[in-house]
Structure 1
Amino acid sequence: MSTLVKPGTRYKSTVCDTEVIIVKPSSGPIDLRCGGQPVVEVGAEVPAGLTLDPAFSGGTPLGKRFADPESGLELLATKGGAGSLSIGEVPLPLKDAKPLPSSD
């Protein structure tokens, strides 16, 4: 399922409690997943029978930003869960914190 994501759109996992909000959109359609399964928009019906893929069960911590430098996608975890975020089969890395300016 490839979707063109828009800033402010909220998505939830179909296999755990994870919820995210899009901070920066991707440059094109992407296959956003959590726990190895496609995500759905918050408020949409969750398909039955999906299970958490053990390969994508590292968890998503609340309040952390994730970014994909290749597509430009950036999102924020608004609710943590057991599944790991990915674009297709590629894990979505945590965004590095910006260093604070020195106060000489």
Structure 2
Amino acid sequence: MGVETKSGARFRSAVDQTEIIVVRPASGAIDLRCGGHPVVAIGAEVPGDLTLDPAFAGGTPLGKRFADADSGLELLCTKGGEGALSIGETPLPLKDAKPLPSSD
């Protein structure tokens, strides 16, 4: 089961307060998760019986971008939480900061 990501789409974790927005969509449907469970669209009903998977409890810091080179997906965290983002079982890494130009 996967979600279709569109630029500007907003999702939230089913197990904590993490919220994200899609900056760059994936090339197709993906199994986007937070805290080990699939994310849900903002405003959609959240299952009440889920708990944070300790294997995906690395946290998602506010204001950080996450990117997956294989799918092209890029996300921005708009509300931090305890769960870590992943595509399926694969952790979603922080996007590398662009180096600033030299001032020489």
TM-score range, shorter chain: over 0.9
In structure 1, the gaps of 5 or more residues are none
Aligned to 1:12: 12
How far 1:60 sits from its partner (Å)? 0.4
1:93 maps to: 93
Q: TM-score, normalised by structure 2?
A: 0.98
Scaled by the length of structure 1, the TM-score of the pair is: 0.98
Show CA shifts across 1:17-47 (max 9, x none).
Answer: 1000000000111000000000001011001
1:69-84 equivalences in 2 (<5 Å)? 69-84=69-84
C-alpha deviation, 1:97, in angstroms: 0.1
Aligned partner of 2:24 in structure 1 is: 24
Amino acid in structure 1 at the alignment position of 2:74: E
What RMSD, in angstroms, separates the aligned Cα atoms of the two structures? Answer: 0.5
Once the two structures are superposed, what CA deviation does each residue of 1:35-79 show, in whole Å capped at 9, x if it has no partner? 000000101100120110000001000000000000000000000
> Residues of 2 paired with 1:9 and 1:75: CA distance?
10
Deviant stretches of 4+, over 4 Å: none
Count the aligned residue pairs: 104
Is 1:43 the counterpart of 2:43? The answer is yes
% identical aligned pairs: 73
Distance 1:82 1:70 in 2: 25
